[in-house]
């Protein structure tokens, strides 16, 4: 058995082991790292916690922005995007990006919870024409 340095050892023995920034073993990855490799956790629970860079300098402090680590060998490939999935995602994004007053669909999410509409409809702030798509003028097929 090889001896590991203090930085490589897990911080907590009870519950999930904790690793400092850039000290996690090679066989563990975060969700973002799995996604970059076109993988997903596949229903498995996390096996460790990665502490953020700021908390690495404060060993006794509980990390405020932990990342969960998953085993790469248990990860499964991501599910392919189907047409139904794509339609559902587009409908969800349309609800977040379409102004309820003027009907324009913006390229960014609107503050509908707080303002209820786009800024132009709310207080008259002009919107850049490149930031939205005009609503259709008619809904007829021909």
- Which helix (H) or strand (E) segment holds residue 106: the answer is strand 105-106
- Cβ-defined contacts of 34-41 (< 8 Å, 24+): 34/70, 34/72, 34/75, 35/78, 37/72, 37/75, 38/77, 38/78, 39/72, 39/75, 39/76, 39/77, 39/78, 40/75, 40/76, 40/77, 40/78, 40/79, 41/70, 41/74, 41/75, 41/76
Say what the pLDDT of residue 142 is: 63
The proportion of the chain whose per-residue pLDDT surpasses 70, expressed as a percent, equals: 87
Structure tokens at 45: 């629970």
Say what the pLDDT of residue 1 is: 42
The band of 115, judged by pLDDT with boundaries at 50, 70 and 90, is: very high
The 10s digit of each residue's pLDDT in 28-77 is: 999 999 999 999 999 999 999 888 888 767 767 777 788 899 999 999 99
- Which helix (H) or strand (E) segment holds residue 99: the answer is none
Threshold 0.85, pTM exceeds: no
Cα(33)–Cα(25) distance, integer angstroms: 13
Say what the pLDDT of residue 120 is: 92
């Amino acid at each position: 058995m090889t001896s590991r340095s203090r930085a490589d050892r897990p911080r907590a023995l009870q519950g999930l082991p904790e690793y400092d920034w850039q000290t996690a073993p090679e066989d563990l990855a975060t969700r973002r790292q799995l996604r970059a490799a076109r993988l997903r956790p596949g229903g498995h629970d996390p096996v460790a916690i990665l502490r953020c860079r700021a908390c690495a300098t404060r060993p006794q402090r509980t990390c405020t922005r932990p990342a969960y680590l998953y085993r790469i060998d248990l990860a499964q490939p991501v599910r392919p995007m189907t047409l139904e999935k794509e339609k559902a995602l587009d409908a969800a994004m349309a609800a977040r990006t379409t102004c309820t007053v003027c009907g324009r669909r913006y390229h960014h999410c609107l503050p509908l919870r707080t303002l209820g509409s786009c800024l132009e409809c709310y207080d008259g702030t002009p919107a850049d024409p490149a930031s939205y798509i005009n609503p259709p003028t008619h809904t007829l097929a021909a």
